[in-house]
Structure 1
C-alpha cells in the first residue's frame, strides 16, 4: 500500500495527473555511445531543461551523481535513473555484435538514494539468440520487483532488437506486441518506438492501461520537423515524449524545449509553439 502511494506521487512528477501528459528528455546517450555531440556541456543543457519546464530527464549513474544537486537547486527536472547499459546502438559500427547485449550498471537502491522519481530499463525483443532475450526479460523482472518494493516508478523501454528477427522494428503490429509484454511485466510507463503515424499509434496507446511515451531517435532533420512529430505524437493519444538527440542536438535546444512544452502542456499548434519560443 505504501509503495503504491509512493509510485503515484513520483509518477505525478513525470506525467501531470490532470492532463495525463508529460515532457521528458533522454540524456543518457553517453552511457551507450560514449562521446556524443550535444553532451559536451551537460550543465548548460540541464539548466536549459529547467528553464524550459521539462518534467523529467533520464541520466546515467555518473551524471546523476555529479549533477543531481544541480537539478534540485534549479527546481527540476525530476530524475529518471538509467539502470542498464546496452551495445544495441552500435549496429553498423566495428564495435557491434550480432546481438545487442544489455546489463545492469546501477540499482533501484541507487535511484532511491539519489532522490529519483523513476528508473528505466530496456526490454529488447526478437534477438537472434533467444538466450539474450531471456536475460533481458529476467533483468527487467528483477528491476520491477525492486521498484515495487521501493515504491518507485519503473519505465520499461520496449523496442525491437535491431538487426535481428523483426524485419521492420517500427511495424505497428510489432510495436503493439512488445509494448503489451512490457506492460504485463509490470511497467508503470512504457517508452517505445514511433510506429510511423498517429493513426498507427492510436490503437497501441488506447490498448494499454499505462501511459505510453515515444522515443525520438537520432533526429528529424530540422527543428520544425521535430516539433511536427511532437504534435503528431500528442494527437495519437500517447502521454508524451522522451526525446533525446532531436532536442539536445537541435539548432536551438532551448527554443525547441520551450516549444515542446507549449505543444504538450499548452495544447499549442506547431506554429504557435514556434512563435512563442522565438523559433
Structure 2
C-alpha cells in the first residue's frame, strides 16, 4: 500500500508547488453548458500543465484515461444540491475505502468552523482524517470560516487564518482556502499553518489579470499553489489559461509573462 509521501508526490512537483484543477462542482452545482464534455477539458488541461484534479466519483470512475496519470483528489462531501432548500449541512457521502478502490491520491472534505452546522461538518472532517491515516491517504481540508453563510466576519484574514490552522491541528495534510487579500496577511497565514496551503478561485468571475495576480501574490507569500476550477473551465480556452497558470506556479514567471503566454498566437 502506497504511503502518504508517495501519494503527495503525485500531487506536488519537486518544487513543492501544485496546480490543482477543481472539477468537483457537478456534485451539487450546475456546471452546464461549460462542462458538458468533462473528459475533453480534463485531457486538455492535464496536457497543459495541471498537476492534479479535484474530482467526483463519476469523473474518477468514467474518465480515468483522460487524467493522463495526473493526481486525483476525490470529493467526499455531498448530499445536497443547488436546487435544495439550503437548510441541511453537507455530509460525508463517500467512504475512504471507496476512494482507494478508485485509485485516487487524496480526498477532500469540508471544514466550516463558525457555521451553524460546524458540529456535524467538523466531526465528519475529523472522522475522515482518522480514517485516511489508517490507510495512508492524504486528506485535503477545505477550510472556510462560517462556510457559505453570509456574515460580516466570515472572510476576515484573521478568521481565515484561524480556520486553516484548525484544519492543520485536526490532522489535514493540505489546506484549501480563500486568499486573504494581501501578501502580508497571507504570509502570516502560511507562517501560522504548518501544512501546504493552496488557494481557491471561488464562484465570482474575475479578469484573467486579477486571477493571475492573486496567484502570484499567494505564491510570493508562501502559498503552495492553487485549487481552482470555475474561472478556468468557464474560460473560452481552458487549456491555454491552464498553461499560463502552470507557468506562473512552476516557472516563477511574472504576471505579465503569464498573460503573454495566455494571449500568444500559435
TM-score with structure 1 setting the length: 0.88
Match of residue 86, structure 2, among 82, 97, 103: 97
CA-CA distance at 1:213 after TM superposition: 0.6
1:7 is matched with 4
The alignment of Structure 1 onto Structure 2 pairs a total of residues equal to 263
**1:162 and 2:148 correspond:** yes
2-side partners of 1:35 and 1:277: how far apart?
Answer: 24
Match of residue 172, structure 1, among 145, 157, 160: 157
Contact 2:180 2:186 in 1 (8 A): yes
2:78 is matched with 85
CA-CA distance at 1:220 after TM superposition: 4.2
**1:124 and 2:109 correspond:** no
What value does the CA root-mean-square deviation take over the aligned residues? 1.9
Secondary structure of 1:125's partner? coil
Secondary structure of 2:112's partner? strand
User: Structure 1 residues 170, 36: closer, same or farther in 2, change over 3 A?
Assistant: farther
What are the ranges of 5 or more consecutive residues in structure 2 without an aligned counterpart?
none
Q: Aligned runs of 1:1-279 on 2, under 5 Å?
A: 6-16=3-13, 18-71=14-67, 74=68, 76-85=69-78, 87=80, 90=82, 95-98=84-87, 101-128=89-116, 132-160=117-145, 161-163=147-149, 166-279=151-264
Contact 2:179 2:214 in 1 (8 A): no
**Structure 1 runs, 4 residues or longer, greater than 4 Å off:** none
1-side partners of 2:130 and 2:241: how far apart?
Answer: 37
What are the ranges of 5 or more consecutive residues in structure 1 without an aligned counterpart?
none
Contact 1:52 1:258 in 2 (8 A): yes
Contact 2:11 2:52 in 1 (8 A): yes
CA-CA distance at 1:96 after TM superposition: 4.2
Secondary structure of 1:225's partner? helix
1-side partners of 2:129 and 2:221: how far apart?
Answer: 27
Contact 1:59 1:80 in 2 (8 A): yes
2-side partners of 1:107 and 1:70: how far apart?
Answer: 24
Residues 215-264 of structure 1, C-alpha deviations (whole Å, 9 max, x = no match): 11024432222222221221221101001101111232111100000000
CA-CA distance at 1:86 after TM superposition: 6.0
2-side partners of 1:183 and 1:220: how far apart?
Answer: 29
Which range moves more in the overlay, 33-42 or 235-244? 33-42
TM-score with structure 2 setting the length: 0.92
1-side partners of 2:85 and 2:200: how far apart?
Answer: 22
